[in-house]
Amino acid sequence: MLTAKATLLRWRLIGLVYIFSLLFLLFQGGKTSFMLFCIFNVLLIYLVFGRWSGIAGVTGIRKLSSGAATIAEQSLSAGSRLDVQISVQIPGVWPIPYVLVRDRLTAHNGKTVPFEASFVPSYRRSGSVSYTTPPLERGVYRFESTECSTRDIFGLFEHKGSFESSVPFSVYPRTVAIRQWKQLKRGAKGPYSTSASRLAAKETTQINGVREYIYGDRLSRIHWNATAKTGQWKSKEFERESLPRTIVVLDRYVGAYEKPEQFELAVSTAASMLEFGFRRGTAVGLVSIGSRTDGFAPTASPDQRELMMKHLVRVQADGDQPLYRALRQSSAITQAGSFVVVVSPQTGEDTIRAMEWLNRTGVVPVLVHLKPGGSERNNVSDIRTGEWMRLLRRNGIAVHTISTLQELPDVLEGGKG
């Protein structure tokens, strides 16, 4: 509205100056007034025809990449930066001094990130701009229509055009590589298993393929032929005996998370454990307890993995019930003999009741407790936290505590609490 009023005011001012120059020519006469009138007419024609500069029919293509790689499904994780290149083509022949490109990246939660750049068109009336996004959070993103605008050489009038060149893409949760899980390897007859009787998976001597090298793999596991052929470190993958089913439970109770970063830690922890299970060929499932409970049956199917990861991309802390009540209402997850890994920051009596109830249903419950960030908060709650954790451990329930994602491999691989 304000832009339209400003444009109308400028045209009125130009019209007023045109009338004055015409009156000056009629009443004064002479070469000077004639030259001024001619110059003003030329400038007026330039301003009027600038509306048909071709910017309204602009077209363009957007290319996305992360580092040197083109964006593909599951190639972006939280914290990654996105390199964006926009190539623009402007039809027509009318001269354009410059083009201003405005782009806007929108997340599924409504958060937007604007970008702005400019270029001078080539003789072919084309050009390109590039920019890099800030580190992206977990979620689904899309680009809104790209707006291109230009002004005349006097900066009086702005002409705009836009084009659509967007494909939604997902930013997956951060994950950390877990080489092995001590408790899962010991299986249902380990020190924490009081209600299940399945055997753990053990590696056989039969090679089942080649996988990417994970830092810490022994030299005996390295597949030297594959490493020499590809130029990248590769490790041997051995066949395994059947593993017990594993179900990861993500607690989304909004009252338990002090900061958004703590919930992101919960999502990343769940995603890392799912990736570990699928990499080892384990039947892994997910139960996400929030405003509604979303469950995914434990299988080793790649399609199921894709569904679970896409769920974790959009999931939010929106639950309204504490852990014990939410688990009781999701009793369908309790399949006797399976591992149930609860990822939650909740503490105290409610957590004890929840884990003991799982224990009575015939599963092997494991709690991955998320400590709140900040040393001051941890120091205050250390004594109280230790009491309920010791009680759970005395009852034969494994409890692991982490405050950052990088602690998860050490906790699971070493069996530390």
Domain spans in the chain, listed from the N-terminal domain onward: 60-171, 208-240, 246-413
Residue with the larger pLDDT of the pair 239 and 390: 390
Is the distance from CB of 287 to CB of 250 less than 8 angstroms?
Answer: yes
Residue with the larger pLDDT of the pair 192 and 409: 409
Given this model, what pLDDT does residue 380 score?
Answer: 47
Gap between the Cα atoms of 276 and 131, Å rounded: 35
Q: Is 135 helix (H, G, I), strand (E, B) or coil?
A: coil
Helix axes 2-28, 30-49, angle to 10 degrees: 160
Locate 171 and state its tokens.
């930013």
CATH architecture for the domain at 246-413: 3-Layer(aba) Sandwich (3.40)
Which homologous superfamily is 60-171 in? abc- transporter (atp binding component) like domain (2.70.50.60)
β 203-212/246-251 pair status: unpaired
- Reply yes or no on whether the pLDDT at 29 is more than 90: no
- Reply yes or no on whether the pLDDT at 334 is more than 70: no
Instruction: Report residue 240's pLDDT band, with 50, 70 and 90 as the boundaries.
Output: low
- Reply yes or no on whether the pLDDT at 239 is more than 60: no
- What's the mean pLDDT in 190-202? 40
In whole angstroms, how large is the CA radius of gyration of the chain?
Answer: 32
- What's the mean pLDDT in 147-171? 83
Q: Is 329 helix (H, G, I), strand (E, B) or coil?
A: helix
Share of the chain above pLDDT 90, in %: 17
From residue 70, alpha-carbon distances to 130, 137, 289, 303, 332 in Å are 15, 19, 35, 23, 41
Gap between the Cα atoms of 99 and 88, Å rounded: 9
Locate 363 and state its tokens.
């599963």
The lowest-confidence range among 9-13, 208-212, 261-265, 372-376 is: 372-376
- Reply yes or no on whether the pLDDT at 26 is more than 90: no
Gap between the Cα atoms of 10 and 5, Å rounded: 9
- What's the mean pLDDT in 218-228? 83
Instruction: Report residue 266's pLDDT band, with 50, 70 and 90 as the boundaries.
Output: very high
Closest CA to 130 of 75, 63, 44, 176: 63
Across 25-39, 172-186, 246-260, 363-377, the highest mean pLDDT is recorded for 246-260
Gap between the Cα atoms of 181 and 273, Å rounded: 10
Gap between the Cα atoms of 18 and 338, Å rounded: 86
Gap between the Cα atoms of 334 and 326, Å rounded: 13
Given this model, what pLDDT does residue 70 score?
Answer: 58
Q: Please provide the distance, in angstroms rounded to a whole number, between the alpha carbons at the two ends of the chain.
A: 62
Per-residue pLDDT tens over the stretch 54-64:
888 899 998 88
Given this model, what pLDDT does residue 69 score?
Answer: 55
How many CA atoms, within 13 angstroms, populate the side-chain half-sphere of residue 371?
Answer: 24
Per-residue pLDDT tens over the stretch 297-329:
888 778 888 889 999 998 998 888 888 888 887
Q: Got the DSSP string for 211-236?
A: EE--TT--GGGB-HHHHHHHSS-EEE
From residue 255, alpha-carbon distances to 231, 249, 339, 345, 355 in Å are 49, 17, 26, 10, 19
Answer yes or no: same fold for 60-171 and 246-413: no
Given this model, what pLDDT does residue 74 score?
Answer: 47
Is the distance from CB of 106 to CB of 88 less than 8 angstroms?
Answer: no
Mean pLDDT computed over every residue of the chain: 79
Instruction: Report residue 114's pLDDT band, with 50, 70 and 90 as the boundaries.
Output: very high
Question: Residues with Cβ < 8 Å from 360, sequence gap 6 or more?
Answer: 195
pTM reported for the whole predicted model: 0.72
Per-residue pLDDT tens over the stretch 161-189:
899 877 788 889 999 988 877 666 555 44
- Reply yes or no on whether the pLDDT at 379 is more than 80: no
